[in-house]
Amino acid sequence: MAPSVEDSNNNTAAAAIGGGVENGTPPPEKSRVTVVGSGNWGSVAAKLIASNTLKLNSFHDEVRMWVFEETLPTGEKLSEVINRTNENVKYLPGIKLGKNVIADPNLENAVKDANMLVFVTPHQFMEGICKRIVGKIRKDAEAISLIKGMEVKKEGPCMISSLISEQLGINCCVLMGANIANEIAVEKFSEATVGYRKSKDIAEKWVQLFNISYFNVSAVQDVEGVELCGTLKNVVAIAAGLVDGLEMGNNTKAAIMRIGLREMKAFSKLLFPSVKDSTFFESCGVADLITTCLGGRNRKCAEAFARNGGKRSFDELEAEMLQGQKLQGVSTAKEVYEVLRHRGWLELFPLFSTVHEICIGRLPPTAIVEYSEHTPKFSLVGGSNQFF
């Protein structure tokens, strides 16, 4: 059974400041936050949030964090070690999360009282997680997804925020940005973008929960644009890593990033015409693309893949190099490819389609910079097409 935390600013204190029992109006209910996920970014998100809930009267101090339980080499359970040491020794070693972060291996228990749910797991696990908690969360819960990825169903592509909204029947915002977790963990400055659909008030509450001196958050009314930026940049990061592994140099890498950004924008607008151009200039857009192509895990594994001439699979490299952390770019490239194939758009997106074909071994890593019948000239992309 996971422990719990008493509020330092309890409701009596809140009542003393704004109304309360003395003048007959009950104090507004404090929000309860649960973070669903405890990987590298999930743990940093819990740390950020926990530092803010201690300061903000409108939130309960305690931040519950669902842990996908595993047994460590020492024989101990990860959740027990987190609660004892206040550190996620596997996914974020060396960083104290805050004593008000409580690791809970029981998913249903972790979510049941929360009215603010933060989803931050690798995207491939979200469908199963939603199925487990349908009907077990508060009806008034609000959600935010920090997950970069999407699902492809028979009906077409499904963004993770839509999956959460549709399966759980709740509103879901998104938070994406140039956010390499290990850098934010040591409190180096970065920015992030919240994407919201309708309610600016809800978006502002999320901004309040995440914003801190070294993490500058702003909100834009463009859920799909923000989420697609975060999702698609992982495919471009694979391309950038391949170019690094081939030792092509900075100009080639910049070219790949430029072409990738054009394909990100075109793909997003073809799927959701409401996506705004301005979103690509937020932290979730060009800034995330740059940081991921310079320092992300997708880039790192793709570099190793190219150095090995494509002879070692991404699964093998992921297991060896990331030790439990997960790549999102390889599966996203496959999902994007499925959409392109179904809609007859493959030729319009040579970078995205080439990345997938390299990942599955149909093309060699060098194809990322070769013009062939399989990879139409990148320079052909654009011209009169309104989406590029």
Ligand X SMILES: O=P(O)(O)OC[C@H](O)CO
Residue closer to ligand X by CB (options 141, 192) is 192
Please enumerate in sequence order all residues whose Cβ is within 8 A of that of 103, keeping only pairs 6 or more positions apart, or say none: 2, 38, 65, 67, 78, 79, 80, 82, 83, 88
Residue closer to ligand NAD by CB (options 7, 227) is 227
Catalytic residue status for 233: yes
Query: Least distance (Å) from ligand X to the CB of residue 219?
Result: 18
CA pseudo-torsion sign 109, 112, 114, 117: positive
Residue closer to ligand NAD by CB (options 92, 256) is 92
The annotation status of 241 as a binding-site residue, yes or no, is no
d(CA 169, CA 177): 26
- Whose CA is closest to 272, among 158, 143, 148? 158
Out of 38, 100, 292, 332, name the contact with ligand X by CB under 6 A. Answer: 292
Q: Which residue type occupies 157?
A: P
Helix (H, G, I), strand (E, B), or coil: what is residue 142?
Answer: strand
Q: Which residue type occupies 63?
A: V
Binding region for ligand X (CB under 6 A) out of 30-38, 93-101, 254-262, 291-299: 291-299
The annotation status of 66 as a binding-site residue, yes or no, is no
Cβ–Cβ under 8 Å, residues 301 and 317: yes
Query: Least distance (Å) from ligand X to the CB of residue 29?
Result: 33
Query: Least distance (Å) from ligand NAD to the CB of residue 33?
Result: 16
Q: Which residue type occupies 2?
A: A
**Between residue 219 and residue 258, which ones bind ligand X under the rule CB under 6 A?**
234, 237
d(CA 329, CA 123): 11
d(CA 164, CA 171): 8
Interaction site with ligand NAD (CB under 6 A):
37-42, 68, 91, 120-123, 125, 146-149, 179-181, 325-326, 328
Residue 115 near ligand X by CB under 6 A:
no
Q: Which residue type occupies 96?
A: K
Out of 291, 332, 354, 375, name the contact with ligand X by CB under 6 A. Answer: 291
**Which residue in the list 233, 253, 265, 269 is annotated as catalytic?**
233
> How many residues line the site for ligand X (CB under 6 A)?
13
237 binds, among ligand X, ligand NAD, none (CB under 5 to 8 A by kind): ligand X
- Whose CA is closest to 161, among 213, 206, 212? 206
As annotated, the binding site includes 37-42, 68, 125, 148, 181, 297-298, 326, 328
Judged by the rule CB under 6 A, the positions of this chain that interact with ligand X are 148, 178-180, 234, 237, 288, 291-292, 296-298, 328
